[in-house]
């Protein structure tokens, strides 16, 4: 976990983080290295301030889920953390200013799966996944045996190896999503950022995805995922709740305070229940 020890800061692992603390969790007593840090991050799009000062410290070697209503700023935050959008404020990856990384270094370190991500429709599935190996390859160099092995492993992991020779445009929504997920995995990056990765996946492949993310963090990697599937998001280690361009709560998924904040962010239209040893989110029939 060399990347994790690079950061000198710590993340919240105890009680809830106080919203607005600067940066969240830095003063917490249990010391966990920080993989991703945002300090006063603001983004304005089309004249509207979409991110209104985000302070976050995300622990390394853990899975954090970002949850919140449509338009809360989740995608914008993920893009700002990946340096895909101009922003005010500071972002650090693995303890180093994000702006100090070269594009290639960052592409090897941070793998990205976007919301409704497009792709070249004519490319074969395996060539799409090979794009994830570009930051590892020399300029104009051919893929190495290592690159080909990484592509095959990622495609087998998301069960899309069987249609490796089919054009992306010929695949169903869920099949296509599994190819794009394989592309992100093929990067073999310590930081995995995914925006609504479960879109179009059927239940067995959602369960596979859970295992993939768990394995990534067990190997010391860090995952940050935006999810609307709240029951799946409750499987994460930490939850960040967003509303109207701000972080309104950060805490462990197992904590009651997180469940209460989660229900509040969705106007109590959902409730968190314990079922068969898992936390599940169900519609609240008694709408207040």
Interface residue list for ligand ATP (CB under 6 A):
45-46, 48, 50, 68, 70-76, 115
Shortest reach from residue 199's CB to ligand ATP, in Å: 10
Shortest reach from residue 29's CB to ligand ATP, in Å: 32
Among residues 60, 23, 96, which one has the least CA distance to residue 192? 60
50 binds, among Mg ion, ligand ATP, none (CB under 5 to 8 A by kind): ligand ATP
Q: Does residue 75 touch Mg ion according to CB under 5 A? A: yes
Instruction: Look at phi and psi of residue 90 and say left if phi exceeds 0, alpha if psi is from -120 to 50, else beta.
Output: beta
Contact 288, 50 (CB under 8 A): no
Q: Which is nearer to ligand ATP, 129 or 234 (CB)?
A: 234
Phi, psi of 52 (to 5 degrees): -115, 50
Q: Which is nearer to ligand ATP, 72 or 181 (CB)?
A: 72
94 binds, among Mg ion, ligand ATP, none (CB under 5 to 8 A by kind): none
Shortest reach from residue 72's CB to Mg ion, in Å: 8
Q: Does residue 188 touch Mg ion according to CB under 5 A? A: no
Residue 31 tokens read as 């010391």
Shortest reach from residue 58's CB to ligand ATP, in Å: 17
Shortest reach from residue 194's CB to ligand ATP, in Å: 13
- Beta-strand ranges (E) seen in 60-200 are 63-67, 88-93, 96-97, 110-113, 191-195
Among residues 172, 200, 195, 162, which one has the least CA distance to residue 82? 195
Among residues 209, 135, 147, 143, which one has the least CA distance to residue 178? 209
Q: Which is nearer to Mg ion, 12 or 50 (CB)?
A: 50
Shortest reach from residue 13's CB to Mg ion, in Å: 27
Shortest reach from residue 121's CB to Mg ion, in Å: 22
46 binds, among ligand ATP, Mg ion, none (CB under 5 to 8 A by kind): ligand ATP
Q: Which residue of the chain is nearest Mg ion when measured via CB?
A: 75
Cα end-to-end span (Å), the chain: 47
Query: Would strands 238-243 and 246-252 be described as parallel, antiparallel, or unpaired?
Result: antiparallel
Q: How many CB atoms lie within 10 A of CB 117?
A: 18
Q: Which is nearer to ligand ATP, 10 or 177 (CB)?
A: 177
Binding-site string for Mg ion from residue 98 to residue 127, where x marks contact by CB under 5 A and - marks none:
-----------------x------------
284 binds, among Mg ion, ligand ATP, none (CB under 5 to 8 A by kind): none
Could you give the CA distance from residue 276 to residue 101 in angstroms, rounded to a whole number? 45
3-state SS, 7-26, equals CCCCCCCCCCECCCCCCCCC
Phi, psi of 97 (to 5 degrees): -50, 130
71 binds, among Mg ion, ligand ATP, none (CB under 5 to 8 A by kind): ligand ATP
Per CB under 5 A, residues contacting Mg ion are 75, 115
């Amino acid at each position: 976990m060399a990347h994790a020890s690079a950061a000198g800061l710590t993340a919240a692992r105890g009680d809830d983080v106080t919203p607005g603390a600067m940066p969240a969790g830095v003063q917490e007593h249990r010391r966990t290295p920080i993989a991703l840090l945002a300090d006063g991050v603001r983004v304005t799009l089309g004249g509207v301030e979409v991110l209104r000062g985000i302070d976050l410290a995300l622990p390394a070697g853990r899975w954090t889920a970002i949850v919140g209503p449509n338009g809360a700023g989740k995608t914008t935050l993920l893009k700002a953390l990946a340096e895909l959008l101009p922003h005010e404020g500071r972002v650090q990856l693995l303890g180093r200013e994000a702006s100090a990384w070269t594009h290639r270094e960052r592409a090897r370190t941070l793998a990205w799966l976007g919301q409704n991500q497009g792709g070249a429709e004519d490319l074969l599935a395996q060539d799409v996944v090979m794009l994830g190996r570009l930051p590892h390859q020399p300029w104009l160099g051919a893929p190495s045996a290592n690159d080909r092995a990484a592509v095959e492993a990622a495609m087998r992991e998301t069960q899309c190896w069987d249609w490796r020779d089919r054009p992306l445009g010929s695949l169903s929504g869920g099949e296509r999503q599994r190819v794009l997920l394989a592309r992100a995995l093929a990067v073999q990056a310590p930081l995995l950022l995914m925006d609504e990765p479960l879109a179009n996946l059927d239940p067995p492949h959602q369960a596979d995805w859970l295992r993939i993310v768990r394995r990534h963090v067990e190997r010391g990697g860090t995952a940050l995922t935006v999810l609307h599937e709240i029951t799946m998001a409750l499987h994460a280690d930490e939850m960040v709740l967003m509303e109207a361009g701000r972080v309104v709560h950060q805490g462990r998924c197992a904590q009651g305070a997180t469940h209460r904040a989660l229900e509040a962010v969705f106007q109590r239209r959902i409730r968190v229940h314990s079922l068969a040893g898992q936390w599940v989110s169900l519609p609240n029939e008694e709408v207040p």
